Structure 1
Amino acid sequence: MALSKRRWWIFPALAVLLWALLPTPAFAAVPATPMRTVSFNGPVRAVAYLGDTIYVGGDFTAAYLDGKRSWRSHIAALNAKTGALLPFAPELDGTVHSLAVSGSDLYVGGYFTVIDGWKRRHIARFTAGKLHPWRHSLSGVPRALTVADGKLYAGGSFTVADDQARGNVAAWDLTQDALLPWAPVTDGTVRSITPGVGRVYLSGVFNNINGVQARKLAAVRPDGSLDTAFAPKLSVIVYDTVVTHDRVYAAAGGSGGQVQAYDLSGNLRWEKTTDGDVQALAAIGGTIYAGGHFENVCASSRTGTNGVCLDGSSAVRGKFLALSADGVLDGWDPGADSTVGVWCLATSGTALAAGGEFLTFAGGTIQQRGFAQFRALGFRRESTIAVETPRRARRDSPS
């Protein structure tokens, strides 16, 4: 029986509905084109979101936009929605390497010993943009800071925290404002410290924790002892980690680099190899973002001198890539230009911020030095962004 003219449209409409209900492949949640915002005159080594503010730390003395220079001494703040530079402009006497946020508080770690004329030995706290009287100290640089469950964790290269012996790892109870007895000891620098369920994951260049072999990536219990139930086997530096409910993702270096996924027993589930170190990770939904100084994703795990892909490249990726939770490479490709590349990534849940030593994106057509934000909603590359006047300006020239 022939269909009436009134009913013929039902079948195409039904087909469209069924297509919409089919599962779709993983895809990057943010655009590959960076938002237009400020650049910096030196490396950005730490980024963190606090509400609609992005804090940026590193080894810079000025921020630039539309040819206008604004002095910033190793730390700055930006409006995450507009990209505008904010007035926050404390004076630090050394490089910032780590940032962490909690509530209205910003915790800062680095080589500094003085902030705005006040002594602060390698670690400090700002509340609502103001330096807080909170006074604690480390004998060396915290490469990683993380806040979880009312505790501030620090990992890096130090032997003393608040005049007590510590082996590159320390933690403070933020409610009691006191150094905790939690004190695992590593025999090398800690590059990331990531709390999980009943564990704290450490990564870096160490080979032992508390005198027990634990190479580059390990888990420590709440009492500070090594959790031997998590036992990955690595021989290369692990720069960063991201922990989900059942996976630990690692950013590794070596001859070439890798993004690796481990289960909670430390079994390798998959890895993706690049021709340069992977130095930073972040996750949005089911997408894992990675940054480093690679140019290609290798067709196999075999690499040679300077990380060259011995079996060829499966894809070109300039300093950034994105993967599904199952290790499938995404098409997301900002195409950044530099030798050193990306040092840090952070996410607000809907946007991705990156810091490093890159200069341009999209094959050299977009200039964005040291810092970039990829934001899905409301980003406009061609819009004019006002730079807000800082409360005070430095008068000496940048180094």
Structure 2
Amino acid sequence: MRSSVRRSLSTSLRAVLATSVVAAGLAAVSAPSPAAAAPAVDGLTQATAAASCWEVKQLNGSAPSGAYWILTPQLKVPTRIYCDQTTDGGGWALIGRGRENWTYNYDGKGTAADVADQVTGTGAFSPRQLSGATVTALMGGKRIDDPTYGSGVRLRRATDPAGATWQESRFTFKADSRDRWTWALGAGLPLASFSIGGSGGTEATTRNFGTDDGFRRVWTAEDPANSYVRGFTYGSTVTGSTSSSSYLYSKNAGGAYAVPFTQVYIRPKLLSSQLSFTAIPAGGTAPETIRAAPRSGALPTSWGVTGLGAGGTTENAGEVQAFAQIGGTVYVGGNFTTVQKGGSATGSDKVAQPYLAAFDATTGEPVPSFKPQLNNQVKALAALPDGRLAVGGEFTSVGGSSRAGLVVLNPSTGALDTSYKTNVENRLTGGKVSVRGLDVGGSYLYVTGAFTHFTHPSAGERYAKGGARIDLSTGLADAKWNPDFNGTGTAVDASDDGTAVYFSGYFTQMRGGQTADRAAAISTATGAAQAKAWQPTFSTAGSARYQQAVKQVAGKVWLGGSQHSMFSYDPTTFALENAHITKDGGDFQAITGGNGLAFGGCHCEQWNYSDTTQYDSTSPGSTNVTWSQADKIYYVGAWDATTGDYVPEFTPEMRADQGRGVWALMVASDGTLWAGGTLTSAVRENGTNQWVGGFARFAVRPHTAPAKPSGLAASTSGTTATLTWSGSLPSGGTFEVLRNDRVIGVTTSKQLTVAGSSSSDRFVVRAADSWGNRSASTAVVGPPSAPATTPVDLVTSGSTWSYLVDNNVSVPSSWTSGSFDARAWPTGKAVLGWGKGPITTDIDVAAGATRPLTSYFRQQVTVTNRAAIKSLLLTTRADDGVAVYVNGKEVGRANLPEGALTRGTYATVAASTATAVASPVSWNVPPSVLVDGVNTIAVEVHSNYRLTPSLSMDLTLTGTS
């Protein structure tokens, strides 16, 4: 930082300036907590970070342009931002710069330091863009489209090859259209107004706006006319150069639609006095973790599948159409002919193995011992409870035997399991058997596709059209369960509670002539009646109304298909809850869930438009929009399983043969997302493009809190405090030092000197990894005169608990209170649970019994002087989800959905015991929940799925008095 930037203002002058600015028209908001003394701010150090570039300029009228430290509660840590303090009074924050090849992805390009440190010159031609989360955080909780706290978006574009002359442009978003930032400008975000070089207009979109075809044009969309170059392009009369040093670029020498070097700015008008930071709790800060979305970069790929087999070349006969996992093996099915290593494999790196292959779930290497023999494509796979593999498709011969549509294979060798003898037939005129969907529910295998009958050598034939179920104990089709659809089914999913089965497809009616409009919810009870009438919403009034994928994920049933729709429904009422449409691109073809997310695969590679059911409202350039957000998508996207909102931070970049995209999705047991279809390449985490054969894998992002630092100590000399601590630095991470209510230092060292400290300061330290996961902090270090405290251990690790693990016993709502009688419950010492890890008391159900989704635990402790207890910290593990109550009052939950919890509520994450132990969850509990006398601690632990291999519970409740 140049010394000329350093200038201090007296406290009185700062107060006058801040007061005058608010009086000039900024809306007043609540001040910070009194626990946090308002620090002097100038943006020159992390400890004196300002709320905005604009505040720096208001407090120091001569502040020059340069990089300053900016902090809002949403940014969490002081962040270096380049501030233009000259143009239009200054206060502009640089959020991106570059020439061609800008990204539309939400995570941007590069780091904040990249943007702040190289703002112009040929070295800045390769775009660097702040993440969408960072840009939104710069607004300090205000909307991007709020004119009270912002000045819209500013573009500074070069107008000549040498970069000697520049143009200023502005645009503002239409009111109530942008609550957060997105780089998906090519999607056509609606504008209220724009001005380019002094010439302006209204009612336009970010895709393409302006007043001429020359320099007064901004074109952000990829198009054949501009050679698919991403940038802030001029019009057709402005030519560029292929020169690496030209500020006006064209992919072809002298080509039209020149792409200028551009800087993008916003101007949040925020003062520190307007921001509300949260004071550090007495017990320190709780851990923070990001959601378990996949990494956008694909895992390295060596092996894949290629070639098209007997299934043909239509779009629904792509290389990969199904996944299943059994143990450490992932099975891949489709219309491929070959398993090969790399795009130009020969010899032993290219093996003829059509339609079905096995790969190591961890390494992605093929499993050569698995050698099934099928004569046509595989369209569905399912892992059976006994470890065998069910295979559905359009084959008529397996292992040399005449078998159509559905077989069971040995998962190790691929050999036909001859004990399963049921065969599938389609007796419609010209009918061909096609089994397109399989799912296990309870003791049945549910089947959908194109078929009419199931036959067995000794049991005869059973009629079931378009939908059926196989009794896994006998291998026979259930003769009393037949939806009798009048068209082909495309996908099937057994409901989480076991009461219904969801179908999607091309049908319009079911048994008895009942309406089943391309989707149906069928009761699992004998008779296959509708569980609930379901009228899906369609995104167009035209004839393209088929649905291709259905899946319940947590509390929503997702349905995807024609006209690019990805909609969710309430599984109780089947009312529409969330609506998303992708365009340009195409239909959704696969849906799965995992890690608290729903995933959808499609032949879409442009935009996801949120909160709209109207396909035509997403037309490029349309200003009459009905959607709320637009984000980039490449063939597969993620949606939050609880809210239904699009998850923009997962944006994998892939290419697919003929753009047909993703037709199969699966979240493996280690959290890795497998995406398959006609994929030909994928961008890795390091940014390089790699060949893929049919499928790509995306590892889950780290989403556990780092280890907590310890031993924080403070010494003071005058107004300078020196802090030291112990602990392990996360890989690529930092330590964050908080004072009173905010971060004032980020370091890789284990000490920090803080100038301007006072005796009232309270400090803590926490660890943060490079992904944004944060540990619980150390205990607060206060002034020497702070009152002495005494530790209080109310519940210790390894203590004795009463527990209930029984599907046949219901607990009343009073089970968390002291009045509930739990004397009949068994007792045991923690750790209680089953599976991997150290378990002191094994509470697993008997062999052959079904594990419940929810287990209950209680303990009672006596408190003799509640008034003396000043703080409480509860620490437990989330394996998989946990909710804790003290005297009937909920004090915390983790990995569970919002709202009322029932015995059938699924955890939102399948955390392993090792993960849960390594990342305990903690809550600061108000001592007021305690009473003098007997207190009841109640814990309910929920599993993510009934066959979860592990569950564990231990808890501590400690405090100070």
**TM-score, structure 2 normalization:** 0.36
Cα shift readout 1:125-149 (whole Å, capped 9, x = no counterpart)? 1123332102221121110011221
Which residue number in structure 1 is paired with residue 639 of structure 2? 323
User: 1 CA distance for matches of 2:566 and 2:591?
Assistant: 11
Q: Which has the larger radius of gyration?
A: 2
1:209 aligned onto 2:533:
no
Q: Structure 1 vs Structure 2: percent identity of aligned residues? A: 25
Alignment counterpart, residue 304 of structure 1, candidates 602, 605, 616: 616
Mapped to 2, the partners of 1:16 and 1:290 lie a distance apart of: 43
Alpha-carbon deviation of 1:50?
1.0
Residue matched to 2:552: 243
2:565–2:579 CA contact under 8 A, matched in 1: no
Deviation at 1:63, TM superposition (A): 1.2
Aligned to 1:70: 351
Once the 2 structures are TM-superposed, how far is the Cα of residue 301 of structure 1 from its aligned partner? Answer: 3.7
1:372 aligns with 2:655: no
Pairing 1:186-197 to 2, within 5 Å after superposition: 186-196=485-495, 197=498
Q: Which residue of 2 aligns with 1:107?
A: 390
Matches within 5 A, 1:349-360: 349=669, 350-360=671-681
Match of 1:343 among 636, 659, 663: 663
- Correspondence for 1:269 among 560, 568, 577: 577
Quick one: higher RCO (CA 8 Å, sep 6+), 1 or 2? Answer: 1
Give deviations 1:211-235, integer Å, cap 9, x for gaps: 1012112111122333253423344
Match for residue 179 of structure 1?
A: 477
In 2: Cα distance, 1:28 partner to 1:367 partner: 23
- The structural deviation recorded for 1:52 is 0.9
- Partner residue in 2 for 1:392: none
Which shows bigger deviation, 225-234 or 181-190?
225-234
Corresponding residue number in structure 2 for 1:57: 333
Aligned equivalents of 1:143 and 1:309: distance in 2?
Answer: 38
Q: 1:90 to 1:225 in 2, by over 3 A?
A: closer
* TM-aligned CA deviation for residue 309 of structure 1: 8.5
Tell me, in whole angstroms, the C-alpha distance in 2 between the residues paired with 1:286 and 1:377.
13
Match of 1:28 among 293, 317, 336: 293
1:229 lines up with 2:532 in the alignment: yes
Distance 1:93 1:317, change over 3 A: same
Shift of 1:166: 1.7
1:215–1:234 CA contact under 8 A, matched in 2: no
CA distance in structure 2 between the aligned counterparts of 1:354 and 1:292, rounded to whole angstroms: 10
Tell me by how many angstroms 1:306 deviates. 11
Partner of 2:321: helix, strand, or coil? strand
Q: CA deviation at 1:305?
A: 10
1:341 Cα offset (Å): 0.2
The offset of 1:20, in angstroms, is: 4.1
Q: Evaluate the alpha carbon distance shift between residue 364 and residue 32 of structure 1 in structure 2; reply closer, same or farther with a 3 A threshold.
A: closer
Matched, 1:156 2:449: yes
Equivalent-residue separation in structure 1 for 2:549 and 2:285 (angstroms): 39
SS of equivalent residue, structure 1 residue 357: strand
Is 1:122 paired with 2:405?
yes
Partner of 1:280: 590
- Cα distance, 1:41 vs structure 2: 1.1
Residue of structure 2 equivalent to 1:136: 422
Structure-2 separation of matches of 1:146 and 1:37: 30
CA contact (8 A) 1:144 1:192 kept: yes
Quick check: 1:73–1:89 contact (8 Å CA) kept in 2? Answer: no
Aligned to 2:499: 198
Task: Name the amino acid aligned to 2:573.
Answer: S
CA–CA separation in structure 1 for the residues paired with 2:283 and 2:620? 46
- SS of the aligned residue for 1:192 comes to strand
Q: Which amino acid aligns with 2:475?
A: D
Q: Give, in angstroms, the shift of residue 268 of structure 1.
A: 0.7
1:322–1:377 distance in 2 versus 1, CA, 3 Å: closer
Closer, same or farther in 2 for the Cα pair 1:284/1:329, shift >3 Å?
same
Cα distance, 1:15 vs structure 2: 7.5
Aligned length: 365
Counterpart-to-counterpart distance in 1, 2:644 and 2:303:
33
> Secondary structure in 2 aligned to 1:135?
coil
Post-superposition offset of 1:203: 1.1
Q: Which has the higher helix share?
A: 2
Q: Note the C-alpha offset of 1:29.
A: 4.4
Superimposed CA distance per residue, residues 83-117 of structure 1 (whole angstroms, 9 cap, x where no aligned partner): 11011122211111111111320011111111221
1:220 partner amino acid: I
Say which is worse superposed, 227-236 or 200-209, in terms of deviation: 227-236
Deviation at 1:370, TM superposition (A): 0.7
Q: CA deviation at 1:264?
A: 2.0
For 2:443 and 2:468, how far apart are their aligned partners in 1? Answer: 14
Amino acid at match of 1:183: N
Distance 1:16 1:75, change over 3 A: farther
Contact 2:504 2:550 in 1 (8 A): yes
Letter in 1 for 2:536: K
Kept after mapping to 1: 8 A contact 2:295/2:700: yes
SS for the counterpart of 1:54 is: strand
Whole-angstrom CA distance in 2 between matches of 1:355 and 1:214? 29
Q: Mean Cα displacement is larger for which, 286-295 or 256-265?
A: 256-265
The more displaced of 338-347 and 236-245 is: 236-245
Q: Which has the higher strand share?
A: 1
Alpha-carbon offset, residue 251 of structure 1: 1.8
State how far apart, in whole Å, the 1-side matches of 2:401 and 2:701 are: 40
- Which residues of structure 2 form unaligned runs of 5+? 1-277, 308-318, 426-432, 456-460, 539-544, 703-961
C-alpha deviation, 1:371, in angstroms: 1.3
Encode CA deviations 1:174-202: one digit per residue, 9 max, x unaligned.
11222212111111111111112311111
* Secondary structure in 2 matching 1:304: helix
The Cα of 1:265 is off from its aligned counterpart by: 1.2
Cα shift at 1:151 = 1.2
Distance in 2 between residues matched to 1:336 and 1:260, nearest whole Å:
25
Q: For residue 387 of structure 1, what is the aligned residue in structure 2?
A: none
1:228 & 1:120 partners in 2: Cα distance? Answer: 33
Residue identity in the other structure for 1:179: A
Distance 2:280 2:617 in 1: 56
* Offset of residue 252 of structure 1: 2.4
Counterpart of 1:82, as a letter, is T
